[in-house]
Amino acid sequence: MQTRPDLRNVAIVAHVDHGKTTLVDAMLRQGGMLRARTELPDRVMDSMELEREKGITILAKNTAITYAPADGAPITINIIDTPGHADFGGEVERGLAMVDGVILLVDASEGPLPQTRFVLRKALHARLPIIVVINKVDRPDARIKEVVDATYELFFDLDADSDQIDFPIVYACARDGVASLNQPADGTVPTDSDSLEPLF
């Protein structure tokens, strides 16, 4: 399959409440898709009344941002924000069939949970490249190193091969729109970056 260097199709997957929609909101703001002064509610991708009422994503939604690296041509990133609740796993599976890669969010306190296993199994089976994002690193109860270790264990448990286990890790506080390739101290926001740039 031929790929275009100016286009990426990515699904954001995780257990419920690990920060998928919050990350998409931050990506949209930093990608210039939402005006800074625009008054919009959090979770802009959750457009259904029931989603807003329950605080969960029910249907997978897509959006796009344009990323303009300082040293290259702009790249359009098509993003699919998937549900994290097990009842809507079919939406995740359909989303994975349309993407070139996956961003797997894992809460820095809770670690991998049952839906993390489900979505990771599907992504590994589809042989999709995976970026692991340890999110909510600023939580006072964050245990980043243990969560990273548990994530590696999950990859091993799901029989990931050596290529699949060689995944990049990004440490993030999606709520603040900050990410880093360097592991911060537990309970702190990454200070070597003021944006989500390392994720791109």
Q: Which of 15, 18, 21, 116 is catalytic?
A: 21
Is 116 among the residues known to form the active site? no
The residue annotated as part of the active site, out of 3, 6, 15, 17, is 17
Annotated active-site residue 17? The verdict is yes
Helix (H) / strand (E) element for 163: namely helix 162-165
Active-site residue 125, yes or no? no
Catalytic residue, from 18, 20, 61, 136: name it: 20
Catalytic residue chosen out of the listed positions 76, 85, 100, 176: 85
To the query of whether residue 21 is one of the catalytic residues in this protein, the response is: yes
* Residues annotated catalytic, as ranges: 17, 20-21, 85
